[in-house]
Amino acid sequence: MGSPHWKRLCLLLLAGLTSSLLLYGHYYATVESPTGRRIIASLLQPEPLVLASPGTSHQVSSRRWTPEGGSESKSFKPPAELEEPKPSRKQPSTCLRSVMARAKADPKFGEVFRFDTPVLMWDQHFTPETWERLKTRHVPYGWQGLSHTAVGSTLRLLNASANRHLFDRDTFPRGCVRCAVVGNGGILNGSRQGKAIDAHDLVFRINGAVIKGFEEDVGTKISFYGFTVNTMKNSLIAYEEYGFTQVPQGKDLRYIFIPSDIRDYVMLRSAIQGSPVLEGSDKGDKPQKYFGPEASAEKFKLLHPDFLQYLTARFLRSELLKTQYGSLYMPSTGALMLLTALHTCDQVSAYGFITANYKQFSDHYYEVEKKPLVFYANHDMMLEAALWRSLHRAGIITLYQR
């Protein structure tokens, strides 16, 4: 007979294996099986969303369509409500064939998109009413558990007109602002899409955006770099061997912070002030090494927690929310950047995103040896893929496929 320590070790290994099998079983049941695919399709059905008037509190219906056509009650994390702030005043577009025009004309997506939802958060949004409302939701959908001082001191620095809009339409006199959102999917390896990507007015890139050596496939232009502090730092570690040794920098480059944790607010504050991080897990870190020595407030954008909740509740309400990983779930960085572009640009092309034949390609375009796409419990990549295909079929985006 083995020793008690050996038995305990065997039991721990068995428990770990069982958990892994359960997670895989859940993944297969929800995204790979025929029924799962029908569930994914049903999630794209429009769901009621109530924007309450100031001083009122309305709860959004938690009813969702099931594959059989019935309905069921579910508790969504975070609560699916959008009360404040008031609809944003967006710069008018003169583009006749815009995302907005196509979405409103579509019988399905016309009920899903709400273009008056504020995309960015800036100083005037930090009111006592907004604090009281958002402190009840966990990040990234709110400020539950976050320091009032940390959040407030950061938002008060976002007081320039450039913090209110992703870009200035007056700088694009042609009317239609064309945007390319470039993911890091292996489908781009050998694609020769570099010139097509750079031909867009604005180019969004995310996380480990390796460019050197892949210019013919992914281009060189970069207008926005989107990230959370966590994904940015992890990318610098994980993809260093592939050439991602520094966050993109440039005079005209703008940074889009996704507020997934208190460290995003703290890092953003230090970046604007040009000082080392004074608190938290990044204490002592110098933002200048990421964003350059002359990074002013005008270079930074912060996605609004209400916008993140709206995107999750209306576009990417995953079945994972009903599992033990529900509190960890949020759309991927690529998904958030693509949906951000869809709510700000006139025409949007998506490159390097997951497609139906993703198994033919490596996880990332810069990998020398083919590696399978990794599915993590905090994202629902198959649900995102289904959304991109639906938007492409509706003519709302142009999804690069091979």
Taking only the tens place, the pLDDT of each residue in 308-326 is 999 999 999 988 888 887 8
Mean pLDDT of 277-305: 93
> Percentage of residues in the chain with pLDDT exceeding 90?
65
Indicate whether 28 pLDDT > 60. no
Indicate whether 282 pLDDT > 60. yes
Eight-class DSSP state of 30: I
Give the model confidence (pLDDT) of 48-94 as tens digits.
322 222 233 322 222 232 222 233 333 334 444 444 445 555 666 77
Give me the pLDDT at residue 35, please: 33
Indicate whether 31 pLDDT > 60. no
Give me the pLDDT at residue 402, please: 93
pLDDT greater at residue 92 or residue 372: 372
Phi, psi of 18 (to 5 degrees): -60, -45
Q: Where are the alpha helices (DSSP H) in 59-162?
A: 99-105, 128-134, 148-155
Q: CATH for 99-165+177-399? A: 3.90.1480.20
Give me the pLDDT at residue 319, please: 86
Give me the pLDDT at residue 87, please: 52
C-alpha distances in Å from residue 248, one per residue of 33, 38, 164, 195, 208: 40, 40, 22, 19, 10
Indicate whether 30 pLDDT > 50. no
Closest-CA residue to 264 (of 119, 136, 146): 146
43, 383 in Cβ contact below 8 A? yes
Indicate whether 41 pLDDT > 80. no
114, 310 in Cβ contact below 8 A? yes
Quick count: other Cβ atoms within 10 Å of Cβ 172?
17
91, 113 in Cβ contact below 8 A? no
> What is the C-alpha separation between 223 and 345, in angstroms, rounded?
13
Is the overall model pTM greater than 0.85, yes or no?
no
Closest-CA residue to 303 (of 191, 146, 139, 147): 139
Q: Give the pair of three-digit tokens for residue 317.
A: 């309400």
Quick count: other Cβ atoms within 10 Å of Cβ 11?
10
> What is the C-alpha separation between 91 and 81, in angstroms, rounded?
26
Give the model confidence (pLDDT) of 169-184 as tens digits.
888 877 799 999 999 9
Give me the pLDDT at residue 92, please: 63
Give me the pLDDT at residue 325, please: 75
Domain boundaries, the chain: 99-165+177-399
Give me the pLDDT at residue 90, please: 60
Mean pLDDT of 192-199: 98
Least confident range from 14-18, 126-130, 131-135: namely 14-18
290, 232 in Cβ contact below 8 A? yes
Give me the pLDDT at residue 318, please: 87
